[in-house]
A and B are shown apart, each in its own frame.
Chain A
Amino acid sequence: MVRAFEKLRFWLLMLFHRSRTAERLDKELQFHLEQQIAENIAAGMSNREAEHAAMRLFGNPALLRDQITEKWSWSWLENLRQDAKYALRQFRESPSFALISVLTLTLGIGANTAIFTLLNSLWLQSLPVKDPGSLILIGMQANNPTSFARSPTPMMNLPIIESLERHTRSFSGVFGWCDYGADLLESDGTHTYPGTIVSGNIFDILGVRPAAGRLLTDADDQPGGGTDGWAVVISHQFWVEHYSADRSVIGRHVQLNGYSVTIVGVTPADFEGIMVSSRPDFYMPLNYEPVMRQRQRDSFLHNPLSFELTPMARLKPGVTLAEASAELAAVTQQIFEEVLPAAVLRQDHGSPPLHLTALPGRSGWSFLRISYRQPLFLMQGLVGIVLLICCANLAGLGLARGASRGREFALRIALGAPRLRLMRQVLLESLLLTVPGGLLGLAFAWMGCRVLLRLLSTGAERFPIALSIRPDATVLSVTACCAAFCGLLCGIAPAWMLSRTAPEQMIRQSANRSLLRVESKWLGNSFVCAQIALSLMLVVVAGLLSTTLVKLRLGHAGFRTQNISTVMMDLRARSERGTALTHIYWQMADRLKQMPGVQNAALVAVPPFYGNQSMDFSAVNGNTPSAHEAKQVLQFNEVGEGFFSTMEIPLLAGRGFVNSDADTDTCIVSQSAAKKMFPNAPAIGSTLRQYQFSVGGGPSENTCRVIGVAGDVKLQDLRMPPQPLVYRPIASDMPNPGLMNFVINARSLADAQNAYRKTLHEIAPGSPDSEVTLITQKMDDSTSLERVLASLSGFFAGLALLLSGVGLYGLFSRSVTQRTTEFGIRMALGATRLRIVLLVLHQAVILMLIGVVAGAVAAVLSTRLIRGFLYGVTSNNPFVLAGAVLLLCAIALSASLLPARKVVHLDPVEALRAE
C-alpha cells in the first residue's frame, strides 16, 4: 500500500518535475565525481592526474545519465518529442527534400486511396439502415457456372417474389426494387429525375424512419393506389434542393410520369436506397408501374419472364445466410413451376438450369459490381505499382541523404549516441514525412474520385453514376496503413545502413569523397533498377490499353459513322395504333429525307450502340419437317427503306426494303448469317422461320423470304466481331408501343436536329421533341471505360517515368560529385574527357539494362492478366514492348547524360585542389 504510494509519487515526480530531478541527478553525479577526485588527491596524485583518473573510472557521465533517465517512465515520450523536433529542423534545413518526398507520397497514397474509396463505396460500405447484417439479396445462380453466367445476379420479377414469400420461412420480409426514371412536370416543362419503383413494405423491412411526413406502406402499393391515391416519397436531397425543406410539400399533388401523385414523405438524409451507384429522388410503389406504362401489355410488373426487380430480404433472427441459401435452392423448382409458363418449363425439360440463392445484402447492390469489377481491380493493381515506385524513389532519396549525413551520424555515434536511437530517429523522420503525405493524399483522393466518376459516367445509360464518396473508417485505416507502409519502407534502408556505419573510418574520410559503403551503393542501385523495371511495366500496360482504344475507335464497324446521328421519336401520346402508326413513321422518314442539309434518313428499331435483340431462327428446307429444323440464335433488328444506303452498309446481293405493305414477310441477312443458315445454297430466295415468345400468346412462329444479303457490321459492340444478323422491315402489322428511331445522314448535328424538329412538327404536331445524338458520340460513350483505363494508365506511366527519371538523375549526379577527385586524378594522368564521360555512362547503362530486362520479363508475365481488357492487340505485342523499352532507355540515358556534362567542364587542377 505504502509502496504503491511511493511508486506513484516517484512517477508523478518524473512527470511534473523532470527538469529539477534531472538537475539534481547531475548534482548527485557531480558530487560523486568530486569525492573520487578528493580521494585520489588524498592518495597522493596531482590535481590533474586525480581528475583524469576519476573521469576514467566514472566513464561517460552523459551516457550514464541517459541510462538512468531511461528508467523514468516518460523518457520514451520525451525522446520521441526530441527526435520529432530534430526531424522538423532537418526538414527546414533541406525543404526541397521534404517537399519532393511529401509530393511523391501524396501521389502514391492519394492514387491508392482514390481507387480503394471507389472499391469501398461499391462493395464494402454498409447501408445506413437497421441491422444491415441480416439483409440478403436473392439471386439466380446457374447450376453449371460458365464464364458467361459465373456470378449470381439478383434480378427477378414480382410473381417470383410473391411465390417466394409463400414458400420460404427464412425471411421476415421480401421487397423488390427497380430503378425507374421519374418525369416530373414542372413550371418550365418536364424534367427527368432518377427514381425507383419499390414494394410498399421496403421502408418497414429496412427500418428507415421518415425525415418528414410518412414513408410508403403496403397500403400504398395496391392496384389503383392507396388512400392518398398514388403516394410517392421524395429523397431528402430533392426535398432540400427543390422545395427548400418546406414541410408543406407533404400532401402536395404533382404530375409524375403523366399522372397525378401525392408526395407523402421524405426519406432521411443518409438513406440513398439499396443501389449504391444510383440515388433515387422519387420512390414510387411497384403497382404504379403498369399505370405509367399506359398499356398493360408493356408492363413488366406481372410478367414472369421479365427480370427487372432486385429482390432484397431480411433474415429472421437466428437464420444464417447458408440456411437461407439452402432453403431457396430447395424451393426453386416449386416456385418456377408455379410462376413460369408451362411452355418455358418444357424448353428446359421440366427442371430449370438455375437455382435461387442468397447473397449478402449488407452493402446493398449495384450492377456496376458486375461491369466494374475487373477494371477497378486493374486500376488498384496499377496504383499499387505506382506506390511501390514512389517508395523505391523515396528510399533511394533517403539513402542518399543518409550517406550525405554520414559524418554527422558517425560523429554522434562516436560521442556515445546509441545506434538504436539514431535508427529510430531516421525511421521517425520518414514516418513524419508520411503524415502530410497521407493527409494531402486524402485530399487528392477525394478530388481523384470525383474526376474518375465523372469520366466513367460518360458511358452511363441515363443518369451519372451516383456513388457516394464517403471516406469512412475503412478508407482512413487503409490510407493510414498505406502511409505507415511507405514510411517504414523509405526509412528502413537508411536506418539499416546507419546500423552498419563505422564511425572512425567515416570521420577520417574527407568531405567530398565517397561516404557510401559498398552495401549502400548496391542498395541504391537496386532501388533505381526496381524503379526502371516497375515503370517499364506501367508503360507497357499503358501502351497496350491505348492501342486497344485506338483499335476500337479506328477499327471499321462496317458502316458509315461520320455525320450519322440518331433520334428517338416518341408517339406514345397519339391515338393511332398499329398500321396507322406505321404509316406515320413512313411519312416521317420520307419527309425527313427531303429536308435541307439531310442527305439520307431511315427508320430503325434498335439504333447502333443502343443494345441488341436476338431471336431463334431456323432455315426452312422443303424436305425436312419443321420440328426437325435446327434453331439458331441470331441478332435481330427492324429497319426501314433506305437504311442500308444511309448507313452505307453494302448490299452484296438482292435489294433493300421498301416502306410499303409489299414488304412484310421479307428479310435481309448479313453475310455471316447467310453462311450460318444456308451454308450450301444461295441465301436469296431461301426462307427463314422466326420463333417468338409472348407472355399472353405463348410461342409463335412465322416465315420470311430472304430478299438481300448485307455486309457484316458491328451495330452493337465494337469489341466483338460482327454477329450474324437478320433484318426485318418496319412493316405495318408490327406490334409497337409508339417509340421509333431514325438514323439521319446530315451535314451537321444542327442540320439533323432542325430537320427532325420541322418534320415532326409537320407530320405529328404536338409530339414531344427529342434530342438528336451523333453516332460518334455514342461510340465514345460505349468506349468510355477503355478511355478511362487508357488515360489513367497513361497518367500513371507518365508519373512513373518522371519519378524514375528524377531518381536516376539524383543517383548519377551524386556519384559524379563523389568521384570528382578520382576523375581529376584520371584526367591528370592523361585520360580524355570522352573516356571519363563513358565511365559515368557505363554505370548508367548497366543499371538500365538490368532494370529494363527485369521489367520486360515482369511485363510479359503480368500483362497476361489484362488480356480481357485488350482488343486488337495481344498482351505480348512486340511493338508495344519495344516502344516501352526504347522510351525507358531514352529517359535513363538523358538522366545520366545531364550529370555527365559536369565532367566535361571539370578542371583537373580544381578537382585535385579540393582534396
Chain B
Amino acid sequence: MGKPNDLVQGTLDLLILKTISLEPKHGWAIAKRIQQISKEVLQVQQGSLYPALYRLEQQGWLKARWAETENGRQTKFYSLTSAGRKQLEHEAENWKRLSGAVNLVIEES
C-alpha cells in the first residue's frame, strides 16, 4: 500500500486540486475519493492531508466554506479558486511531461 511519503513530492497537491475540481468536498471525502479512483493504491493519511489542505488554502489556491454534510454534520468544504484552477492545469501539464519522460526512460532500457 502506498504511503504518502511514497508519493512524489508535490503530487499530493495535484491530487487534491484535481479531486475538488468538479465539486467542493470535505477532507474525508477527498481522502476517500483519491483512494477509490486509484483503486486503493494511494492512501492519503490525515497527517499529510490536513497540513496540505491548510497550506494550499494559505497559498490562495483553495477556499474553504463551513457547510453541512449529507448526514447533517458541520464540516469544512474545500473548492478551487480561479488561481487554483490555473495551478491545477499547470501542475497536470507538468505531471504529464514528467511521467511521460519517466515512462520513456523505463521502456527504452
Contacts and interface: CB of A to CB of B under 8 A. Distances in A.
Contacts of A58: 46
B55 A28 contact: no
A64 B83 contact: no
A31 B75 CA distance: 7
B28 interface: yes
B73 interface: yes
Interface stretch (A2-10, A568-576, A656-664, A902-910): A2-10
A25 B57 CA distance: 13
A10 B28 contact: no
A67 interface: yes
Contact of B28 (A3, A35, A67): A35
A71 B83 contact: no
Interface residues of B, number: 26
A71 B58 contact: yes
A7 B46 contact: no
Interface residues of A, number: 26
B18 interface: no
B60 interface: yes
A27 B47 contact: no
Contacts of A10: 57-58, 60
A4 B74 CA distance: 28
A59 B47 contact: yes
A534 to B, nearest CB: 49
Contacts, number: 70
A67 B52 CA distance: 11
Contacts of B81: 2-3, 6
Contacts of B83: 2-3, 6
A28 B83 CA distance: 24
A442 B60 CA distance: 49
Contact of B45 (A27, A29, A57, A68): A57
A70 to B, nearest CB: 8
A24 interface: yes
Nearest to A54: B46
B75 to A, nearest CB: 4
Interface residues of chain A: helix, strand, loop or mixed (majority): helix
Contacts of A67: 47, 51
A64 B50 contact: yes
A2 B82 contact: yes
B11 interface: no
A32 B28 contact: yes
A28 B61 contact: no
Interface in B53-84: 54-55, 57-61, 63, 66, 69, 73-76, 81-83
Interface string A1-28: 0111111001100000000000011011
A2 B82 CA distance: 8
Given A58-B46, A71-B54, A71-B58, A28 B76 contact: yes
B27 A28 contact: yes
Contacts of B73: 31, 34
A526 B81 CA distance: 61
A67 B31 CA distance: 19
Contacts of B46: 29, 32, 57-59, 64
Interface string B67-106: 0010001111000011100000000000000000000000
A5 B83 CA distance: 11
A6 B59 CA distance: 8
Contacts of B50: 25, 28-29, 32, 64, 68
Interface string A108-140: 000000000000000000000000000000000
Contacts of A28: 26-27, 50, 75-76
A516 B5 CA distance: 38
Nearest to A33: B46
Contacts of B61: 3
Contacts of B55: 71
Given A7-B58, A31-B28, A32-B27, A24 B63 contact: no
Contacts of B74: 27, 31
16 contacts: A2-B82, A2-B83, A3-B59, A3-B81, A6-B81, A11-B58, A24-B66, A25-B50, A28-B26, A28-B76, A29-B46, A31-B28, A32-B31, A32-B50, A64-B51, A71-B55
Q: Which 5 A-B pairs have the closest CB atoms?
A: A6-B60, A3-B83, A3-B60, A35-B28, A31-B75
Interface of B: 26-28, 31, 45-47, 50-51, 54-55, 57-61, 63, 66, 69, 73-76, 81-83
Given A3-B81, A31-B26, A72-B54, 13 more contacts: A2-B83, A3-B59, A6-B83, A7-B59, A7-B60, A10-B60, A25-B50, A28-B27, A29-B46, A36-B28, A68-B54, A71-B51, A72-B58
